[in-house]
Amino acid sequence: MMAGILKNKSTIIFSIVVVCSILLMSFAIKKQITIYIIGDSTAANKQAKAYPETGWGMEIQSFFKKSVVIDNRALNGRSTKSFLNEKQWQPITEKLQPGDYVFIEFGHNDEKIDKPGTGTSISEFKANLCKYVLETRNKNAIPILLTPISRRSFKDGKLMDTHGDYPKATRAVADSLKVPLIDMLVKTESLLKRLGDKPSIKLFNYVDSGHVNYPAGKKDDTHLSPEGARQIAGLVVEGIKELKLNLVKKLR
């Protein structure tokens, strides 16, 4: 009889250990957060042949602890429309887990209304942003809207706005759907104005002739240099702190 009691106790203890182990494993899995980035070339991962062009999404992982994984799905040339039509969004929604984040930054290519497969009207732009937001929330994940970063477009020493009403449209969607917003246009305009026309060149993909990837050189006022990508990623993190997102606890 005693042997039976001991056997039952051992079975109970073993069961408790197994259950606890499963719970701990589940907690560990849930503890890991994925930040998906969707957007255009200013954020996108770059191939080696494009170096030193760098997307800010390539630099943001270094700001976070290992419990946060950056899954950068931004792509060159994409708009809210083409990203959807090319079915780049669907695989993300299939993987989204509760507590994950989706950082949504479009505008540069939506503005190209002369390209029917890419450009969007303001109303279509808003509708697409709403779709991203609502489908993210349907998975109990957290959408974050970002306005597009500024181009380096100085005229007579004054920084010019090149994005028209698209940043305003992003702000309007954020306001109507109560979505956290990081106003990257305001942040990057402030940075460029502070630096000034010539000093701000260092943030962008300016390359002297003779470079292996750019034999004739390159003067690009839209895409970022490695230093520019780091600084812009830093501004995204600044926005995370200002919004007091739970992600703040995950920063290094």
- What is the residue extent of each domain of the chain? 32-250
Fold topology of 32-250? Rossmann fold (3.40.50)
Q: What is the pLDDT of residue 31?
A: 72
Mean pLDDT for 13-29 is 44
Please report where in the chains the tokens 């969607």 appear, as a residue.
Answer: 173
When the pLDDT of each residue in the chain is averaged and rounded to a whole number, the result is 91
Question: For residue 34, what are the β-bridge partners?
Answer: 69
**In which band, very low, low, confident or very high, does the pLDDT at 8 lie, cut at 50, 70 and 90?**
low
- DSSP 8-state symbol, 25: H
Q: How confident is the model at residue 18 (pLDDT cuts 50, 70, 90)?
A: very low
Percentage, residues of the chain above pLDDT 90? 88
Inter-axis angle of helices 184-195 and 226-243, nearest 10: 130
Local confidence band at 22 (pLDDT 50, 70, 90 cut-offs): very low
- Provide the phi-psi class of 99: left if phi over 0, else alpha when psi is between -120 and 50, else beta: left
Secondary structure of residue 58 in the 3-state scheme: helix
Is residue 71 within 8 Å of 38, Cβ to Cβ?
A: no
Three-state secondary-structure class, residue 36: strand
Helix (H, G, I), strand (E, B) or coil at 248: helix
Per-residue pLDDT band for 41 (boundaries 50, 70, 90) equals very high
Q: Find the mean pLDDT for residues 100-117.
A: 97
Spatial distance between the Cα atoms of 179 and 126, rounded to a whole number of angstroms = 13
pLDDT digits (tens, 9 = 90+) for 128-176: 999 999 999 999 999 999 999 999 999 999 999 999 999 999 999 999 9
| Residue pLDDT, tens place only, 176-188 | 999 999 999 999 9
Q: What is the pLDDT of residues 53-64, one digit of tens each?
A: 999 999 999 999
Across residues 195-217, what is the average pLDDT? 97
Enter the DSSP assignment of 54: B
Going by their DSSP bridges, the two strands 158-159 and 154-155 should be labelled as antiparallel
Q: What are the DSSP calls for 11-23, one per residue?
A: HHHHHHHHHHHHH
Determine the Cα–Cα distance for residues 144 and 120; give it in Å rounded to an integer: 21
How far is the C-alpha of 122 from the C-alpha of 165, rounded, in Å?
7
